[in-house]
Structure 1
Amino acid sequence: MTGTRIFSSSARGTTRGRAPTRAAQQPPGPAYRPAGRRRHIPRWRTTDGGHDEGGIPLYVHPGTNSRAWAALSADDQPVSWVVVNQNSGPGSPEDTVLTAAAKAVGSGAVLCGYIEHNYGAVLDFDMKGQAQEWVSRGIAGAFIDRVSSDAADVQDVARTVLHLREAGIAYVVLNCGTVPAPAVVDLADVVVTFEGSMAAYRALTLPDWLTALQPERTAHLIYEAAADEAVEAVGLARRRGCHHVYATSATFASGNPWSTLPDYWPRTVAALTRYPSRSTHVWPR
Structure 2
Amino acid sequence: MRYNQVGKSDLHISDIGFGCMSLENDEQVNKRIIDEAIAAGINFFDTADLYDKGENERQIGRLLHGRRSECILATKVGNRWKADGSGWDWAPGKDYIIGAVEDSLRRLETDYIDLYQLHGGTIEDPIDEIIEAFDILVEQGKIRAYGISSIRPQVIQEYVNRSAIVSVMMQYSLLDRRPEESVIKLLQENQISVLARGSLAQGLLSGKPAREYLSYSAEEVEAAAKAVRFVAGTKRSASQTAVMYALKKQPVASAVVGIRTLEQLRDVVDITSATELTGAEHHFLSESVKPGTYDKFR
State the TM-score bracket (shorter-chain normalisation). Answer: 0.5 to 0.7
Structure 1 residue aligned with 2:187, among 202, 210, 223? 210
Structure 2 residue aligned with 1:184, among 128, 145, 159? 159
Structure 1 residues 207-246: aligned runs within 5 Å: 207=182, 208-214=185-191, 217-222=193-198, 223-225=201-203, 226=206, 228-246=238-256
Counterpart check, 1:131 vs 2:131: no
Q: Which residue of 2 aligns with 1:110?
A: 72
Q: Which residue of 2 aligns with 1:58?
A: 20
Q: Which residue of 2 aligns with 1:36?
A: none
The alpha carbon displacement at 1:58 in A equals 0.7
Unmatched 5+ residue regions in structure 2?
1-6, 81-88, 207-236, 278-298
Q: TM-score, normalised by structure 1?
A: 0.57
Secondary structure of the residue that 2:176 maps to in structure 1?
helix
Structure 1 residues 1-285: aligned runs within 5 Å: 43-44=8-9, 53-59=15-21, 63-64=25-26, 66-74=28-36, 75-85=38-48, 88=51, 91=54, 95=58, 98-103=60-65, 107-117=69-79, 121-136=91-106, 137-141=109-113, 142-148=115-121, 150=123, 154-166=127-139, 168-179=142-153, 180-185=155-160, 186-192=163-169, 194-195=170-171, 198=173, 200-201=175-176, 205-207=180-182, 208-214=185-191, 217-222=193-198, 223-225=201-203, 226=206, 228-248=238-258, 260=260, 263-271=263-271
Q: Which residue of 1 aligns with 2:84?
A: none
Can you list the C-alpha shifts for 1:31-82, whole angstroms capped at 9, x where unaligned?
Answer: xxxxxxxxxxx85469xxx895233331266743543442232344343421
Between Structure 1 and Structure 2, the one with more helix by share is 2
Considering only CA atoms, is the larger Rg found in Structure 1 or Structure 2?
2
Q: TM-score, normalised by structure 2?
A: 0.55
Identity between Structure 1 and Structure 2 (%): 7
Number of aligned pairs?
Answer: 217
Q: Residues 154, 55 of structure 1: CA spacing in aligned structure 2 closer, same or farther, 3 A cutoff?
A: farther
Separation of aligned partners in 2, 1:233 and 1:71: 19
Separation of aligned partners in 1, 2:164 and 2:121: 12
The alpha carbon displacement at 1:242 in A equals 0.4
Separation of aligned partners in 2, 1:267 and 1:213: 33
Q: Residues 232, 89 of structure 1: CA spacing in aligned structure 2 closer, same or farther, 3 A cutoff?
A: closer
The alpha carbon displacement at 1:102 in A equals 2.8
1:211–1:242 contact (8 Å) kept in structure 2: no
Q: Residues 116, 79 of structure 1: CA spacing in aligned structure 2 closer, same or farther, 3 A cutoff?
A: farther
Separation of aligned partners in 1, 2:124 and 2:41: 33
User: Greater relative contact order (Cα 8 A, min sep 6): structure 1 or 2?
Assistant: 1
Unmatched 5+ residue regions in structure 1?
1-41, 249-258, 277-285
Q: Residues 199, 69 of structure 1: CA spacing in aligned structure 2 closer, same or farther, 3 A cutoff?
A: farther
Q: Residues 205, 140 of structure 1: CA spacing in aligned structure 2 closer, same or farther, 3 A cutoff?
A: same
Separation of aligned partners in 2, 1:269 and 1:138: 27
Separation of aligned partners in 1, 2:70 and 2:22: 21
Separation of aligned partners in 2, 1:187 and 1:261: 36
The alpha carbon displacement at 1:224 in A equals 0.8
Q: Residues 115, 107 of structure 1: CA spacing in aligned structure 2 closer, same or farther, 3 A cutoff?
A: same
2:49–2:104 contact (8 Å) kept in structure 1: no
Separation of aligned partners in 1, 2:110 and 2:125: 34
2:194–2:252 contact (8 Å) kept in structure 1: yes
The alpha carbon displacement at 1:221 in A equals 0.5
